Amino acid sequence: MGTKCLNCGALFHPPQRICPKCGSKDLVEEELAWRGRLVAYTVIRRPPKGYEDYKPYIVGLIELKDGKLILAQIVDCDIEEVRPGLKLEATFRRIREDGKSGIIEYGYKFRPVIEWNWQKKPNPEK
């Protein structure tokens, strides 16, 4: 789920209350596609405060099937496996845990799509 600014048309994920682009409060929720492909990525080795326990982690620019671009963490794969063009799907995961309050934050991350053909019979010879 994301938000779309009715003033300038910008789309944001995660959802925002005020448009970071134009400052408008005239925003509506907009459902985003669940699948897409990786356009570009970076490996975060020196994370911001509160995310030190999760390093290194991958953040990527993802082009969703509907053409929208979002920035999200890439999970369930090794850094060596990540490459532009990688097919990804959204998954709901723990984002972080606040050590002082114990509050656990959840949100969307993206993982490689697992393609499985249920009609194809396994080959016992392999």
Give the model confidence (pLDDT) of 63-107 as tens digits.
998 888 889 999 999 999 999 999 999 999 998 887 778 889 888
Coil, helix or strand at residue 119:
coil
Summarize the confidence of residues 3-29 as an average pLDDT: 90
118 within some domain:
no
- Per DSSP, 85 falls in state T
Coil, helix or strand at residue 34:
coil
For residue 24, what are the β-bridge partners? none
Q: Is the pLDDT of residue 123 over 80?
A: no
Summarize the confidence of residues 16-37 as an average pLDDT: 92
Q: Is the pLDDT of residue 120 over 70?
A: no
Nearest partner of 98 among 46, 51, 39, 45, judged by Cα? 51
119 within some domain:
no
Cα torsion 24, 28, 29, 30: sign: negative
* Euclidean distance between CA atoms 87 and 79, whole angstroms: 15
- Asked if 49 and 93 sit in the same domain, the reply is yes
120 within some domain:
no
Q: How is residue 32 written in tokens?
A: 């985003």
Nearest partner of 55 among 84, 88, 79, judged by Cα? 79
- Asked if 7 and 37 sit in the same domain, the reply is no
Give the model confidence (pLDDT) of 40-63 as tens digits.
999 999 998 878 888 899 999 999
